[in-house]
Amino acid sequence: MATKSKPLVYTTKTQALSAHLAVMARKLGPGARLPTMQQLSEELGISVMTLNRALSELEAQGILVRRQGSGTYVTEKFASSIGVVCDRELIGAPASPFGDLLLQQAQTRANELGERFSLYLAEGSAGNIVHEDLAEAVNTRKITGALCVTRHPKVIDWLDKRIPVVALSHRDVSPYRVRIDHTQTIALGVEALAKKGCKNIALLIPAGYGIGPTSAGKSFAELEAYKTALSAAKLKYDENLVFNLSALSAHVEEDAETQDVRLQGRAGAAAALDTLKADGIVSLDDELTLGALAEFNKRGVRAGHDVHVATHSNKGSHLLYAFEESLILIEVDPAEVAAAMFSLLETRLADKNAEEKVIAIAPKLAA
């Protein structure tokens, strides 16, 4: 059952009032007139001086406009100021192109809706939890909400106490988040591989991404989906075919960005070929797949012939471009992810106490 999220915490009364008035402006809509200064002061129980400071802040942000002798109005092109918060390694080579694709879609979406869009690095320095530029943008109300694509839970927690946040994460790092439904990746992958005649289908899951057993060693959704898919294909489950199962965790590793996912892929492919004699592999990460393909190449193993591979991929990505003909691609559309994150953030901006919500994006077999 969904629960009410905790109220936002602001460092000053003016910031709290500005946030409240911004929500009011969004509900009233572009061009609408706000109550008079006297009415707002009495209704909110604050001084005219504090109210004036808050209104000036929102006027500077382009949310409100004050017209002499007429009143205060929501701007005709009222726009939210959205910050996209990312880790350094997410943007640009040699990172997975998902970050770039997501940013492109976020920029397109922001332009279409007239929103202001800024990119911020998540990690701080010199002992700071968040990057100095991000902290300044939040504290001065330059951004009214944030989309977070970071593996640093402390950054998300810091932001969530100050502005509405939506995270892209498997882990429960925020009451409002979007995740990839990898149970669907597995179901589609196993089904496609079984149709290819595969009998020993291995599962590769990257370590440090928040997918895996709980501390009690119990199962998890992706593992259960794997078992179910194998059963549907009349194949037996063997825990040894889940690479590095004992090392998986339900928690995101703080140093996950330092882990070489491609090396994990090479190790997983080696285990699948040497010990498990796998003839099919389902991979939940395109970087992981690239590592496996490198190991195949070293051994003279042909993907799509000697071993079939069904892999997660990002629509529009060229990471696996040279291998696409030999792979079964199960795609996630970054445009769909961006739309879901923006939609959820809009809900959050309109009502800071909206019920918690998680949106799962289902991948599809590439055409």
Is the pLDDT reported for residue 354 higher than 70? Answer: yes
Is the pLDDT reported for residue 58 higher than 80? Answer: yes
Q: How many CA atoms lie within 13 A of 275 on its CB side?
A: 14
Please indicate whether residue 215 or residue 82 has the higher confidence score (pLDDT).
82
Task: With cut-offs at 50, 70 and 90, classify the pLDDT of residue 325.
Answer: very high
pLDDT tens string 84-133? 898 887 765 555 567 777 777 777 777 766 667 788 998 887 778 899 99
- The domain spans of the chain are 13-49+57-74, 182-332
* Residues with Cβ within 8 Å of residue 287, at least 6 apart in sequence: 96, 206, 261, 262, 265, 319
Is the pLDDT reported for residue 2 higher than 90? Answer: no
Rounded distance between C-alpha atoms, residue 57 and residue 255, angstroms: 38
DSSP run (H or E) holding 201: strand 201-204
* Residues with Cβ within 8 Å of residue 6, at least 6 apart in sequence: none
> What per-residue confidence (pLDDT) applies to 113?
63
> What per-residue confidence (pLDDT) applies to 355?
83
Rounded distance between C-alpha atoms, residue 284 and residue 209, angstroms: 11
> What per-residue confidence (pLDDT) applies to 356?
81
Is the pLDDT reported for residue 6 higher than 50? Answer: no
Task: With cut-offs at 50, 70 and 90, classify the pLDDT of residue 253.
Answer: low
Residue among 59, 334, 9 at smallest CA distance from 165: 9
* Residues with Cβ within 8 Å of residue 62, at least 6 apart in sequence: 75, 77, 78, 79, 116
Q: 66 burial class (0-12, 13-18, 19+ CB within 10 angstroms)?
A: middle
Rounded distance between C-alpha atoms, residue 120 and residue 130, angstroms: 10
Task: With cut-offs at 50, 70 and 90, classify the pLDDT of residue 295.
Answer: very high
Q: Output phi, psi for 164, to 5 deg.
A: -60, 135
Is the pLDDT reported for residue 136 higher than 60? Answer: yes
Task: With cut-offs at 50, 70 and 90, classify the pLDDT of residue 194.
Answer: very high
Q: Virtual CA dihedral for 178, 180, 183, 187, nearest 10 degrees?
A: 140
Ranked by mean pLDDT, which of 91-95, 146-150, 303-307 comes out on top? Answer: 303-307
pLDDT tens string 30-57? 788 999 989 998 888 888 888 998 898 8
> What per-residue confidence (pLDDT) applies to 229?
98
Q: 3 burial class (0-12, 13-18, 19+ CB within 10 angstroms)?
A: exposed
CATH number of 182-332: 3.40.50.2300
Is the pLDDT reported for residue 11 higher than 60? Answer: no
Sign of dihedral through CA atoms 46, 48, 51, 57? negative
Residue among 130, 20, 123, 114 at smallest CA distance from 75: 114
Is the pLDDT reported for residue 345 higher than 90? Answer: no
Task: With cut-offs at 50, 70 and 90, classify the pLDDT of residue 79.
Answer: low
CATH number of 13-49+57-74: 1.10.10.10
* Residues with Cβ within 8 Å of residue 94, at least 6 apart in sequence: none
pLDDT tens string 273-283? 888 789 999 99
Rounded distance between C-alpha atoms, residue 282 and residue 270, angstroms: 14
